[in-house]
Amino acid sequence: MMANPGFRASSGDYGFSPGAARITLPRGVDPTGLEWIHFMTDGLVAALRNWAPGKSGLDAVVTGSPIEHDGYLELKSNTNFLTMHLTDSGQSITRFIGSRDVSTQTGTDRFFFGGAGFAGSPTIHGANIFTAAANSVQGSARYSNGSSPVSRNVFLPVAGGPASPMRLFTLTTGGVGSTAGTDDDLRVSEYVSGASGSEAQGDGYARVGTGAKFGSGGATAVTITGSGHSWIDIGFSRVLSAKEKLIMTDWLIKTGQAHGHYL
């Protein structure tokens, strides 16, 4: 039996119980565009359930055999991972992922935290986040103005390895109909290290989707094969405001602490 079977709220903290009927987002976060919430803290069967309100029946599917640990799943890119219901059509995205890379982080032995994989030629990046090299993660996406496709990449100096703490990543990017405003830029942040970075999307550019489903720990045409430990994955098909991201991060820190993370 797992040591942290759910979370009993106290003193206003947020959390969840795997046997609950529903989950409520913290006050101040608009649920518009919420596509999935997957907790991986209580085994594989519970991890497949989509807790997003109004998304009943749109659960994740599993590829391979993720390993169950106390408070998280061990995933292996391209072998053992989850696939969400949403197809990447180039929409805006906000992604929250609690995870760490436990591979060597060199060559192909790197972990794919989440995204819609890679497709096409030249390679189309599906709003992905993955380990770039030892002690570095990369957020990537592909954009086009109709004639000149460009790739945007954000690199963060984030240490990894089995002994590293569980990370908490946020990735956002605008999609079709977005503008040159900074709110639509590709942005990646990580709570534990405090690292954050962005790359401008550019006026007139819109994100190019892969046409594949979004995955957690792996995705379509991912060639890296490293392993990682993941406890939470949340996806919105819109760009959350700075205030909403702060509220969500606080909620996830508190909930993660109930399962032994971010202590």
Asked whether residue 247 is domain-assigned, the answer is: yes
Rounded Cα–Cα distance for residues 89 and 190 (Å): 26
In a domain, 88, yes or no: yes
Give domain status of residue 4, yes or no: no
Would 7 be classed as within a structural domain? Answer: no
Is residue 57 a part of any domain in this protein?
A: no
Q: Does 169 map to a domain?
A: yes
Between CA 177 and CA 241, with CA 251 as vertex, the angle to 5 degrees is 25
pLDDT score, position 221: 82
Q: Which two tokens stand for residue 147?
A: 């004639």
Spell out the per-residue pLDDT of the chain, length 263, in tens.
Answer: 344 444 433 333 444 566 666 788 899 999 999 999 999 999 999 999 999 988 988 999 999 999 999 999 999 999 999 999 999 999 999 999 999 999 999 999 999 999 999 887 667 889 999 999 988 999 999 998 888 888 899 999 998 877 889 999 999 998 866 665 677 889 999 999 999 999 988 888 889 899 999 999 998 788 899 999 999 999 999 999 999 999 999 999 999 998 999 98
Assess if residue 197 is contained within a domain. no
- 182 burial class (0-12, 13-18, 19+ CB within 10 angstroms)? exposed
- Rounded to whole angstroms, the Cα distance separating 202 from 196 reads 19
Q: Which domain holds residue 152?
A: 80-176+183-191+229-255
Quote the number of domains for the chain. Answer: 1
pTM over 0.85: yes
149 in a structural domain:
yes
Cross-strand partners of 227: 76
Tokens 């590293």 belong to 164
* Per-residue 3-state assignment (H helix, E strand, C coil) for 210-226: CCCEEEECCCCCCCCCC
Give the torsion sign (CA, 53, 186, 216, 149).
Answer: positive
Q: What is the pLDDT of residue 8?
A: 38
